Amino acid sequence: MSARRHDLLTWLGITGIVIASIAVSQFAFFRIDLTEDQRFSLNENTLDLIDRVEDPLLITLYLDGDFPSGFQRLREETRRMLDEFRARNGNIQYVFINPSENPDPQARRDTYQQLRNAGLNAIQIEVQEADGVKQQQIFPGAVATYQDKEWSISLLLEQFATAPEAQINASIQNLEYTLASALKGLTSTHRPSIAILEGHGELSAVETASWEASVAKAYDVERFNLREFPLDSLTGQADLGLQVRRLNSYDLIILAKPRASFSDLDRWLIDQYLMNNGRGIFMIDAVYAEMDSLSYAPEFLAYPILDAIGLGDQLFAYGTRINTSLIQDMVCAGVNDRRSVRPWVYFPLFLPQTDHPIARNLNAVRMEFATSMDTVRAPGVVKTPLLLTSPYTRRQPTPGSVGLATLYTDPNQALFQEGHLAAGILLEGALPSYYANRISPKTDVAPPKAAATDAKLLVLSDGDFMKNQRNVVRADLPRGAPLPLGFDQFTGQQFGNADFLLNAVDYMLDGSGLIAVRGRDVTLRLLDSPRANAHRWAWQWGNALAPLALVVVLGALYRTLRRRFYAHNSTIS
């Protein structure tokens, strides 16, 4: 066989393989993920949601433009993730838009306002240009449209007192959950129902308006008065059985800052709801302590009210105890005294460091006059502390005085050594009934269930956790308008209370198992910036010359092998 014929057959073989590969790829699609953390593999729950998209779905991302490197990584990781979505289902399409590209200032302002109205928040960054530093607004988010629905998506996780690079990393780790949650909201046909309980002086609708509006995108929210009973159509008497069925029809109940006493019947209704594997979020003040009291005097008396409310023993039976000692934490939020923002130990900040999906990668959570909590023995109940104070903490017994003097006194660290006190505990599993060995308040109803099998109850020791502020500062909003939950208008800081509660609701009601995606780790292998800058010129010259050197070496090797090959063939001939 001549060398020319051998080369021709080799070329034809390679060409045939390429053509066959292209033909097969038209009918069979597959990818192989060889990364250690499987970062290019989507969770099974995410794949199920992607498969639900039966009509065109468009995701418009406002993350295009000349950004710092961190936002460029977020943009490229988002693009990669959406490519995975699109490869799975061609109905999913996306487009990147730069909202700042219009040279007309008024047109840009109109675009910015439209994005804010759509639910996207802007952040300010500084861009270095030839003529100096320019301020630029970035909207790190997207808007997804499907059929007649629209869903706003925030791609950037805000984390208090966290370096920007760490925020970007957490946002990238959370991308799959963020995007898949939007798909879930757009494609779901069943909307779980949530009841906010009333009848005991709980937070009013205007005080919880912000959170109710945010959760209403995916859930039906109603207010349910435990003390308003439906009437029997025949007897005209209160129908307890119908009240039980009405309460049990809700997928989740929320109790936010009750201030009036619960009757035995009220407690029984809540208990039997949970015994039917119900889900609940209870936010309870065990101590009377209100900021409004400081408007009239420089100090006030904080005193226990948990016994008067009447829920302490019931929660104890479920596996947790709310104490009546106020938490003081050196890691705390601030109070604006019109001269400066000063940290106040009665406003503890919780920096979630757990891997539990409710609190993972969240912004700092703020509480006001929270009290400590303990877990108690309850067989069959899994107890998970979700919110723990910093190591620099102490407890203040009540009754006790709370005064503004502590605002202007630097705390003595030697006194703050109790550390890691719980203020939020999740109870799951076989919650025992409070009425298991007690007489039911009504004898004309079915005997109480002795225990649940799969109940979930989140208990927080701050009744105001869900309370939004009402506007008194901004001139562009009506006075008294509800502000976003977790936003402090007096210090300008945004805390993670809203996200924490939304994650808790998703965890309790998520039938698709999507919340498990939040627990996934994606290892981001970043450059050592100080070392890279120190050897910048070496890396630049290496990157420029190494490819050329590789081409020269491979060329020389090819010529040597080719010369030997033809020399060998000519000898044989």
Per-residue model confidence as pLDDT tens digits over 486-521: 989 888 888 989 989 999 999 999 765 677 676 555
Is residue 377 over pLDDT 80? yes
Provide the whole-model pTM.
Answer: 0.78
Q: What is the pLDDT of residue 375?
A: 95
27/190: higher pLDDT:
190
Is residue 405 over pLDDT 80? yes
Residue entry with tokens 């104890």:
316
Is residue 429 over pLDDT 70? yes
Is residue 287 over pLDDT 70? yes
Q: What is the pLDDT of residue 529?
A: 52
Is residue 39 over pLDDT 50? yes
* Residue 407 near residue 428, CB atoms below 8 Å: no
Is residue 110 over pLDDT 90? no
The rounded mean pLDDT for the chain is 84
Please give the angle made by the CA atoms of 257, 194 and 514, to the nearest 5 degrees.
115
C-alpha–C-alpha distance, residues 322 and 305, integer Å: 11
Q: What is the pLDDT of residue 424?
A: 95
Q: How confident is the model at residue 524 (pLDDT cuts 50, 70, 90)?
A: very low
| Number of helical (H) and strand (E) elements in the chain, helices listed first | 14, 24
C-alpha–C-alpha distance, residues 422 and 386, integer Å: 8
Q: What is the pLDDT of residue 102?
A: 77
Of 395, 376, 388, residue with least CA distance to 423 = 388
Per-residue model confidence as pLDDT tens digits over 154-201: 888 765 555 667 777 778 888 888 898 889 888 888 889 999 999 999
Q: How confident is the model at residue 318 (pLDDT cuts 50, 70, 90)?
A: very high
- The token pair that represents 433 in the structure block: 């009934």
Query: Which range is least confidently modeled, 325-339, 405-419, 545-559?
Result: 545-559
The count of residues in the chain is 573
Could you give the maximum distance between any two Cα atoms of the chain, in Å? 114
Long-range contacts of 153-158 (CB under 8 A, 24+ apart): 153/59, 153/178, 153/179, 153/182, 154/120, 154/121, 154/178, 155/61, 155/63, 155/74, 155/78, 156/74, 156/123, 157/361, 157/362, 157/363, 158/363, 158/494, 158/496
Q: How confident is the model at residue 353 (pLDDT cuts 50, 70, 90)?
A: confident
57/442: higher pLDDT:
57
* Residue 490 near residue 338, CB atoms below 8 Å: no
Q: What is the pLDDT of residue 58?
A: 94
Beta-ladder partners of 143: 60, 152
Percent of the chain with pLDDT over 70: 85
Percent of the chain with pLDDT over 90: 40
* Residue 316 near residue 325, CB atoms below 8 Å: no
Query: Which range is least confidently modeled, 152-156, 396-400, 542-546?
Result: 542-546
Question: Which amino acid makes up residue 376?
Answer: V
Residue entry with tokens 């990781």:
77
Of 47, 54, 224, residue with least CA distance to 146 = 54
Per-residue model confidence as pLDDT tens digits over 249-278: 999 999 999 999 999 999 999 999 999 999
Of 106, 159, 133, residue with least CA distance to 361 = 159
Is residue 103 over pLDDT 90? no
Characterise 480 by phi-psi region: left (phi > 0), alpha (psi -120 to 50), beta (else).
left
Is residue 35 over pLDDT 60? no
Q: What is the pLDDT of residue 155?
A: 86
Q: How confident is the model at residue 127 (pLDDT cuts 50, 70, 90)?
A: low
R_g (Cα) of the chain, nearest Å: 30
Is residue 567 over pLDDT 80? no
Looking only at the bridges linking them, the beta strands covering 287-288 and 299-304 are: antiparallel
